[in-house]
């Protein structure tokens, strides 16, 4: 298969203005907020001289534009500054926590996709039947329940009452992963199921499916090969966007289950007014989202030959 390099290159180039815009917005918003980061570091009882020295050291005595210039210069060498609380480099702190988030996000998206696609396909195949009605109601429930509530209920039932699972993470491991994955994947699975149902129903009515059935293929082969494959584009869009948002740290789920990922770290940074960390997370988040969108767009090319041709011939 040919790789649409021009498409990839063009989209990668577009990444820079997006990141520049995001960095500017994040910088301005966090800098116009009240509160003096230098004062946070030296403490309220520090002398004026100490405070001024710290302000100079942090470059806070310069104009906002100059400060942004310095910030951008540092950003080019991947220096996101230091945390005000732990004083460690922000990029290192975020990267350290990223594996835990990637694990949770990947596990959740796998569970959500498997469950969602499976239930959605079942609903489409048995359209109007009891299975369809039952699963459609279940997905409606899944979409309607807020994530924090689902998390708390799972803790109450499985951790506190039955004591099957631990309520909060002590180390990154399977036993601690299950409840957060269930919490995070429930809503996603419901969305995916609904999208799959609609998308599969559209494909089921197409001529090629009838032909496949007429050829005497088993229902499983027809469903997997001729229906699902063709119904994947809307599904992959939802899966991609959900995965990107999980990778940015599922703030609520990670906090409720004490999961040591970037989401909980960002939450604590917000509460502790650790501005460089929040700023860094906004930029990392934008990067993850834009990259994920690119991957989703590329996957369209793999799934649909017409789109692939468009990419290869520069029609995008």
Could you tell me the smallest distance in angstroms from the CB atom of residue 51 to another protein?
9
Shortest distance in whole angstroms from residue 135 CB to another protein: 11
DSSP class of residue 286 equals H
Minimum separation from the CB atom of position 56 to another protein (A): 11
What the block records as the tokens of 179 is 């409840």
Binding track over 114-143 against another protein, x by CB under 8 A: ----x--xx--x-----x------------
- Sign of the dihedral defined by the CA atoms of residues 246, 102, 232, 118, in that order: negative
Residue 115 CB, shortest distance to another protein, in Å, is 9
Q: Which of 15, 42, 145, 270 binds another protein (CB under 8 A)?
A: 42
CB atoms within 10 A of CB 176: 21
Subset of 63-82 contacting another protein (CB under 8 A): none
**Subset of residues 249 to 278 that bind another protein, contact rule: CB under 8 A:** 255-258, 260, 264-265, 267-268, 271-273
Q: Is 87 in the site for another protein (CB under 8 A)?
A: yes
220 binds another protein (CB under 8 A): yes
**Does 46 help bind another protein (rule: CB under 8 A)?**
yes
Closer to another protein by Cβ: residue 39 or 312? 39
Q: By the 8 A CB rule, do 145 and 217 touch?
A: no
**Residue closest to 83 by CA, chosen among 279, 282, 307, 303:** 279
Q: How far is the CB of 270 from another protein (least distance, A)?
A: 12
Angle of helix 262-271 relative to helix 90-125, nearest 10 degrees?
120
Residue 89: strand pairing partners: 82
Is residue 50 a contact point for another protein (CB under 8 A)? yes
Q: Which of 159, 201, 241, 303: binder of another protein (CB under 8 A)?
A: 159
Structure tokens that stand for 88 in this block: 């460690």
Helical ranges in the chain per DSSP H:
5-32, 37-42, 48-57, 64-76, 90-125, 130-144, 147-154, 174-204, 207-214, 219-221, 229-247, 251-256, 262-271, 275-303, 305-312
Given phi > 0 = left and psi -120 to 50 = alpha, else beta, which region is 32? alpha
Is residue 231 within 8 A of residue 280, CB to CB? The reply is no
Shortest separation between residue 72's beta carbon and another protein, angstroms: 25
Contact residues for another protein, defined by CB under 8 A: 33-35, 41-47, 49-50, 53-54, 57, 83, 85-87, 96-97, 118, 121-122, 125, 131, 152, 155, 158-160, 163-172, 174-175, 178, 219-220, 223, 255-258, 260, 264-265, 267-268, 271-273
């Amino acid at each position: 298969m040919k790789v649409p390099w021009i498409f990839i290159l063009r989209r990668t180039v577009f990444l820079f203005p997006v990141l520049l815009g995001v960095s500017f917005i994040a910088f301005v918003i966090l800098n116009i907020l009240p509160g003096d980061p230098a004062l946070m570091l030296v403490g309220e009882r520090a002398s004026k001289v100490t405070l001024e020295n710290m302000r100079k050291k942090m470059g806070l005595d310069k104009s906002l534009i100059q400060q942004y210039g310095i910030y951008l210069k540092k950003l080019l060498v991947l220096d996101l500054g230091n945390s005000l609380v732990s004083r460690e480099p922000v990029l290192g702190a975020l990267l350290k926590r990223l594996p835990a988030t990637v694990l949770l996000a990947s596990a959740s998206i796998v569970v959500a996709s498997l469950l969602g696609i499976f239930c959605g396909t079942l609903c489409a195949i048995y359209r109007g039947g009891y299975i369809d009605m039952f699963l459609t109601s279940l997905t409606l429930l899944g979409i309607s329940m807020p994530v924090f509530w689902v998390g708390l209920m799972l803790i109450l039932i499985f951790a506190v009452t039955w004591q099957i699972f631990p309520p909060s993470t002590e180390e990154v491991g399977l036993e601690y992963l299950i409840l957060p994955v269930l919490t995070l994947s429930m809503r996603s699975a419901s969305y995916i199921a609904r999208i799959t149902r609609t998308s599969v129903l559209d494909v089921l009515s197409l001529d090629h499916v009838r032909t496949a059935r007429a050829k005497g293929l088993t229902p499983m082969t027809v469903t997997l090969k001729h229906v699902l494959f063709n119904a994947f584009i809307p599904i992959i869009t939802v899966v991609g966007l959900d995965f990107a948002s999980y990778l940015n740290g599922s703030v609520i789920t990670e906090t409720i289950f004490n999961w040591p990922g970037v989401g909980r770290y960002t939450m604590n940074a917000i509460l502790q007014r650790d501005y460089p960390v929040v700023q860094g997370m906004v930029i990392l988040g934008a990067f993850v989202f834009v990259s994920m969108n690119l991957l989703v767009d590329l996957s369209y090319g793999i799934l649909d030959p017409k789109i692939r041709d468009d990419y290869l011939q520069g029609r995008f």
